[in-house]
Amino acid sequence: MAGKSWQAHEGDKFVRQLQLRKAYYYENDWRNVPWEQYSYSVVVFTETHWFPITGRQPTTKLGDPAKGLLHSHGPFFENVEDLPHWKPGMRNAADTWQALVPGPLGDGYEAPLDEAELRGLGKRVRDSSNPRTRRRMGSWGV
């Protein structure tokens, strides 16, 4: 059975329907890290705070209001299986980092750099800032 879900524009409805100390899930935006597989995050609202404009809202233990998190990370889902790209083995972003390779590479594994990679590394070193010739921090050139 599919659980409830709330879109980013349904902030008031989300605040009314959520329960304190219950986990809610959202899928992380994979466009920020295209090399990463899909991952999700868990949010638990533990207390309520009074905000001057929006009134009393549930917040996380760090003080993030429910409406703001839904607006910036939504949609939120009641069950982790309801995420759009859910599949068994999907990584929680708060878990320890797991390698994206299926297993250990072995003792004899070598990855020599080709000529293009060496040229790119050399250019990054040449273009980097030289601490002896750069200006002091906070000084602006006119």
Q: What would the pLDDT profile of 14-60 be if each residue is shown by its tens digit?
A: 999 999 999 999 998 877 666 667 888 999 999 888 777 777 788 88
Q: What is the pTM of this model?
A: 0.64
* Residue 71 within any structural domain of the chain: yes
Name the nearest CA neighbour of 25 among 10, 6, 8, 42: 42
pLDDT at res. 90: 83
* Residue 100 within any structural domain of the chain: no
Cα dihedral 95/100/102/103 (nearest 10): -80
pLDDT at res. 45: 93
* Residue 14 within any structural domain of the chain: yes
Q: For all residues of the chain together, what is the average pLDDT?
A: 82
pLDDT at res. 138: 67
User: What's the count of helices (H) and strands (E) in the chain, helices before strands?
Assistant: 3, 7
SS3 assignment, position 93: coil
* Residue 137 within any structural domain of the chain: no
* Residue 23 within any structural domain of the chain: yes
Residue 68 has phi, psi (to 5 degrees) of -65, -40
What residue numbers bound the domain in which 26 lies? Answer: 5-92
* Residue 132 within any structural domain of the chain: no
Taking phi first (over 0 means left), then psi (-120 to 50 degrees means alpha), and beta for anything else, what does residue 112 get? beta
pLDDT at res. 94: 83
Dihedral over Cα of 59, 55, 53, 10: its sign: positive
Q: pLDDT band at 74, cuts 50/70/90? A: confident
Provide mean pLDDT across the span 105-124.
82
* Residue 12 within any structural domain of the chain: yes
* Residue 70 within any structural domain of the chain: yes
Number of domains observed in the structure of the chain: 1
- Tell me the sheet residues that pair with 42: 25
Provide mean pLDDT across the span 93-114.
72
